[in-house]
Amino acid sequence: MSITEQTNPHVLTDDAQGMSYLNRLPRRIVVLYLPLAVFVFVLLFPFYWMAITAVKPNSQLTDYNNFSPFWVVKPTLDHIKYLLFETSYPGWLWNTLVVAVCATAISLVASVFAAYAIERVRFSGSRPVGLLIFLAYLVPPSILFIPLAVIVFKFGIYDTKLALIFTYPTFLIPFCTWLLMGYFRSIPFELEESALVDGASRWQILIRVILPLAVPGLISAGIFAFTLSWNEFIYALTFIQSSENKTVPVGVLTELVRGDVFEWGSLMAGALFGSLPVVILYSFFVDYYVSSMTGAVKE
């Protein structure tokens, strides 16, 4: 016992071991490797199942007595050929990409202005307005698509990509605004005040100070908005009728399911190809996404 502890027995000592409890292999397996293996399995198994089903012959899809459901014997590309060359799937992919990119761009622009006004301008009632914007995101799309359908018909854009481009921001803008509000709040106000002292306008501050610092937050909001647009189903099913204008989620379901006949191979191939753009997007911007979740500029 040290002299300090002898004179003052109430002195607190730090006996924390940090991560040293993982030095032993059994503990490391139970605490780290086993949960990680379960997480990776749960995450990747759907992609594996879609991949083997997409190349599995029809005779093996339901014949579990002679073939295992977990791997494929003599794979075939017939389902992929049927999907790409005998359906409008390439057009569905293009429609989904155009709608998702345009809706994301519109939503980000509107969300930047809204979040900046709420968090940085400091007007009376900004907090309640921010809360109301977030509550608007919680309104179910199944309630909104009925009045939106009336508006779409009156503007004459039914069964066009514009119907989706203009309706998707109704649920993208509230979410992106709420996300950017939290990110803008973490940027020090001293930077903005210094720019105001130097004679910069609000527009210059937004373009040259706030947005360069908020790039991770913008990318995070863009990823979320793009993913929601890419996977949206209710509006795309309601506002699009012709096969050539459908998006991937609606086209795969409505064109590859005929009554009680399910084109399982083509369905899985369509789902697999439809998920790849989102996976690629996340893989390219994962660093920005993580940084936006951990905060912005520190004071």
Tell me the residue range of the domain where 221 lies.
82-293
Same domain for 284 and 204: yes
Averaged over 44-60, what is the pLDDT? Answer: 89
With a CB cutoff of 8 Å and minimum separation 6, the contacts of 192 are: 120, 205, 209, 210
Percent of the chain with pLDDT over 70: 87
On whether both 172 and 200 belong to a single domain, the answer is yes
H/E segment holding residue 258: strand 257-258
- Residue 165, domain member (yes or no): yes
The one-letter code for the residue type at 295 is G
Task: Please check whether residues 32 and 142 belong to one and the same domain.
Answer: no
Domain contains 3: no
d(CA 100, CA 88): 18
Q: What value does the mean pLDDT take over residues 165-189?
A: 89
Q: 99 and 233 share a domain? A: yes
Domain identity same for 158 and 60: no
Query: Are 123 and 68 found together in one domain?
Result: no
CATH (domain of 245): 1.10.3720.10
How far apart CA 180 and CA 132 sit, in angstroms, is: 15
pLDDT digits (tens, 9 = 90+) for 54-91: 999 888 888 888 888 888 888 889 989 999 998 899 99
Residue 5: pLDDT over 70: no
**89-139: per-residue pLDDT in tens?**
999 999 999 999 999 999 999 999 999 888 888 777 777 887 888 787 788
7 lies in a domain?
Answer: no
Residues 193 and 256 in one domain: yes
Residue 226 in this model has a pLDDT that exceeds 90: yes
Residue 241: inside a domain: yes
| Residues 21 and 97 occupy one common structural domain | no
Q: How many domains does the chain have?
A: 2
> The tokens of 248 are what?
């991937």
Task: Tell whether 69 and 90 lie within a shared domain.
Answer: no
* Pair (239, 182) in one structural domain: yes
- Residue 5 inside a domain? The answer is no
Residue 180 lies in a domain: yes
Per-residue pLDDT, averaged over 144-161, amounts to 90
CA 258, CA 229: separation in Å to the nearest integer? 26
User: Are 177 and 268 within one domain?
Assistant: yes
C-alpha–C-alpha distance, residues 166 and 222, integer Å:
17
